[in-house]
Amino acid sequence: MAKPSFPQTIPDVTEETGTGTDDGLEARVIVYNCDCHTYQQVIALLCKYVPGMTSSRAFELAYQIDHEGEAMVFEGETGQAEQIASGLASGGLRVVVQ
């Protein structure tokens, strides 16, 4: 079979992948259990640093942290998540932004 006389062009395809945290959205603040804080301390820190947090919701999250080992306490813009995580960490909580 004869080869075509014209050059074949292969399209250049670029695929971007990522976790979604670089676009300012989809960041999550996770707090881990550490056995060094009381429920009252965790509740106070959550109410102080997480916008819109109520004491009843903070208690639910503290219970989840205590019994499941971790809880997502905030989901939103990356910059805000980092500020919240920093505040919670300053209170001694084990925290990460994902």
Using alpha carbons, select from 70, 75, 74 the residue that is nearest to residue 26.
Answer: 75
pLDDT at 17: 41
Q: How far apart are CA 9 and CA 43, in angstroms?
A: 61
CB 93 within 8 A of CB 43: no
Q: Maximum Cα–Cα distance for the chain, whole Å?
A: 80
- Per residue in 65-94, pLDDT (tens digit) is 999 999 999 999 999 999 999 999 999 999
CB 98 within 8 A of CB 27: yes
- Per residue in 10-64, pLDDT (tens digit) is 444 444 444 444 555 799 999 999 989 999 999 999 999 999 999 999 999 999 9
Domains contained in the chain, CATH given: 27-97 (3.30.1390.10)
CB 39 within 8 A of CB 87: no
Pairing between strand 94-97 and 70-76? unpaired
The pTM for the full model equals 0.74
